[in-house]
Structure 1
């Protein structure tokens, strides 16, 4: 039997993908640091957990404004150029955020506005990157490449908060934000110095100014059966599962020993749970239906959030709940990402992934605002109980959807996930361009 490890690392044979992955990992660490320092600074200066929860909304809401346009642009223009522009904006806004901490104590509105700008830069870059992966590695390596992307993202959620907590305590918010800005440079350099890779732009830049071409891009993206219900399922899952992170400021603020290290420790638990699940997902996808994996993920989310509702002040239970929640998050959204890649039309990948970003981050942005508001009105216990019930209902819909004749997410839910190809369709050599 083949070892799982080599196949999981096969995408790293391809030089351009390898450099972009490592640069993206550094940027994800940077983004995690920015998210934590902004959220913690707002919580510390305002002492309001509901306002601190809006940081998550600020980072996620630009998707509504920019994601669809960036997806259409990714299908018409150079994906490398779009990523380079997005990363340039990220570096510039990170520098502005650092200066705001250096010259004064910024108010919550300023921090939320700059967080929105950081989220906008990521929104411009994300669809182009996701649509590029399948062209930077051969078909047999696609599943491994998306798993490595997820692993890098989740590892950054462990490393980033740890760096942020240490710098906030040992130095200052300015030093923390400056370090995050510097970490954004590797991806900028990787994009700037890497050669232009060959990716066929399906619609052509000459049609970019045509409104009809934009409508065709979106129509083609939604033409494949199962895309629309899959996107609806993603929005539903992200709304309910984001309650854990959205209410993290409230959990920390409720404790007498609240500090940046405690905040970072819980974020690290969440990221660790994500990493622990990744090695198991490969075997699970070969053995189980995708509907089963998603149902287990939503059920674990319901149990972990329910445990928080019962004991929001017990630190050991809170840590265990964040560990389980992080694992459930990875199982759900790495599975839906692969399902989307299978279902997407090749000629509209950028738009498909931008719609995915809208649904995913839309649920997170809405959840960040509503969970914080619900907590301010009803308290932690009631709010977590509502979130747990929502996760449980979603899990039930996945389990019993066939019996109730509900198309809960899409036609691929009954199939095992596979990116296996025939020798005739997988003759790509490792790319060392």
Structure 2
């Protein structure tokens, strides 16, 4: 019986892949993620070699996530008012442009720390435009019962690639140079464009009129402000992003200074993080069935805290890889759980905006955390910065003031019910006509 239950759980996890549209775009995204991870390794390691500042190295993470904080709310409103497929296509084109610019700069040997951050920022702008549209489209492409599995698969797919992407990036940089890594990344970004041109899906119909940008953003903010589930999930996500990003932001410094390693060692450790993320993602469905949402997020925070403190104290590369695997598992479980909470609490007519607000604030937390832990590392030491972030993660794990719970099925409602809610929201905005 246990084997049958395990098989059923595994089948339910991969059920969204039966949908040809989701499968095609999902597979293309994995190739794109492979390029993205190679570029992340190349960019971080390039910054570590051209700049002696610990803060500048940590700011690589901030530069790629800050655009989501700035632009995501606008991107969410665009995703709800226009074709989400076309919005994704536009965002992907911007990512290709940024990657091609970075490749050209490296080819011309015109490498400056601020130019690296600028290209990383532009790449983040493309990702900020693409992200809310893709996340909101998942609910249009797959059935609602498959939505948690589809969200988990999206995260698992990325972290599956993460098991090999960073190591591959390190090998390419060490053997062929950074320009080759950036060139391969640009080619990888092209595949999602082909998938988006081939695939068409119908967004769930809405009887609501198209809104102006300001009205759409205002409605999204007000709806989020009245939903306790959304507010708690976003607040916990922001705090988790702020505290946990120390692992990825400071890892190049740990490899360079503590382990005296190179690009390959950095890639291997990132691969360890990705391996743990894959195992955590595959096991996430089991955990969601056996543990309350709050307990699951608390354990994920504790796992990341253990990873941070271990990186600060462990002197051996192999043990650090094991610690990073634990951190990767906690990372993907926490983000998957929080994202599922936001998706299930969001009606389809406003999903792009609620998801974009979630993205904006959580990525704002990540950007702020990259700066905070970088400043501490610069003025004191990377080890002290990691220890401080571990303490912050343990505080977040307690969840004394902000407890996330799984929405009850009775609260999810039908599509007609959600449209009725939408109509009432819009009627509030219309002046009474006498």
TM, length-normalised to structure 1: 0.89
DSSP-derived class of the 1:61 partner? helix
CA distance in 1, matches of 2:88, 2:377: 37
Query: What SS does structure 2 have at the residue aligned with 1:131?
Result: helix
- 1:367-400 CA deviation, whole Å, 9 max, x = no partner? 111111101111123222211111111112x2xx
Partner of 1:303: 306
Structure 1 contact 224–345 (Cα < 8 Å) conserved: no
Q: 1:234 aligns with which of 214, 233, 237?
A: 237
| Higher alpha-carbon deviation: 76-85 or 275-284 | 275-284
Give the aligned partner of residue 145 of structure 2: 140
Match of 1:282 among 269, 281, 285: 285
Aligned partner of 1:38 in structure 2 is 43
CA contact (8 A) 1:30 1:160 kept: yes
- 1:269 and 2:272 aligned: yes
Aligned to 1:389: 391
Give SS of 2:228's match.
coil
Structure 2 counterpart of 1:77: 82
Counterpart secondary structure, 2:164: helix
Q: Which of the numbers 15, 20, 26 marks the counterpart of 2:25? A: 20
Q: Which is worse superposed, 331-340 or 314-323?
A: 314-323
Say if 2:208 is the partner of 1:208.
no
SS, match of residue 58 in structure 1: helix
Contact 1:43 1:52 in 2 (8 A): yes
Q: State the partner residue of 1:429.
A: none
Q: Which runs of 5+ in 1 are unaligned?
A: 426-433
Q: Does 1:87 align with 2:89?
A: no
Q: Does structure 1 residue 166 correspond to structure 2 residue 166?
A: no
Equivalences, count: 410
Which of the residues 312, 323, 328 maps onto 1:326? Answer: 328
CA distance in 2, matches of 1:335, 1:280: 12
Equivalences for 1:332-411 in 2 at 5 Å? 332-396=334-398, 398=399, 401=400, 406=401, 408-410=402-404
| Offset of residue 67 of structure 1 | 0.4
Is 1:150 the counterpart of 2:152? The answer is no
Cα distance in 2 between the residues matched to 1:254 and 1:354: 37
Residues 244 and 304 of structure 2 are in contact (CA less than 8 Å); yes or no, is this contact kept in structure 1?
yes
Determine which of 53, 72, 91 is the counterpart of 1:48. Answer: 53
Alignment CA distance shift 1:17-1:308 (3 Å): same
The answer as to 2:288 corresponding to 1:294 is: no
Q: 1:183 aligns with which of 185, 188, 202?
A: 188
User: Alignment partner for residue 251 of structure 1, among 245, 250, 254?
Assistant: 254
Partner of 1:314: 316
Instruction: From the superposition, tell whether residues 84 and 347 of structure 1 become closer, same or farther in structure 2 (CA, over 3 Å).
Output: same
| Cα distance in 1, alignment partners of residues 411 and 249 from structure 2 | 34
Quickly say closer, same or farther: Cα 1:230–1:329, change in 2 above 3 A: same
SS of alignment partner, residue 344 of structure 1: coil
Q: 1:121 aligns with which of 116, 120, 126?
A: 126
Q: What is the CA-CA distance between 1:276 and the residue it aligns to?
A: 1.2
Change (3 A) 1:114 1:186: same
- Counterpart of 1:431 in structure 2 is none
Where 1:254 maps in the other structure, the secondary structure is helix
Q: How far apart, CA to CA, are the structure 1 residues paired with 2:352 and 2:239?
A: 22
**1:7/1:421 CA distance change after superposition, 3 Å:** farther
Q: What is the CA–CA distance in structure 1 between the aligned matches of 2:216 and 2:384, rounded to whole Å?
A: 48
Cα contact 1:140–1:420 (8 A) shared by 2: no
Aligned match for 2:67, one of 38, 53, 62: 62
Alpha-carbon distance in structure 1 between the residues aligned to 2:166 and 2:254: 16
Distance 1:417 1:49, change over 3 A: farther
Distance 1:253 1:224, change over 3 A: same
Q: Take 1:158 and 1:81, find their aligned partners in 2: how far apart are those partners? A: 31
What's the CA shift string for 1:286-331, capped at 9, x where partnerless? 11110110111112222222222333x3323322221111111111
Q: 1:9, CA displacement in angstroms?
A: 1.7
Aligned to 2:423: none
Are the aligned partners of 1:290 and 1:416 in contact in 2 as well (CA < 8 Å)?
Answer: no
Report the Cα distance in structure 1 between the residues aligned to 2:408 and 2:133, rounded to whole angstroms: 27
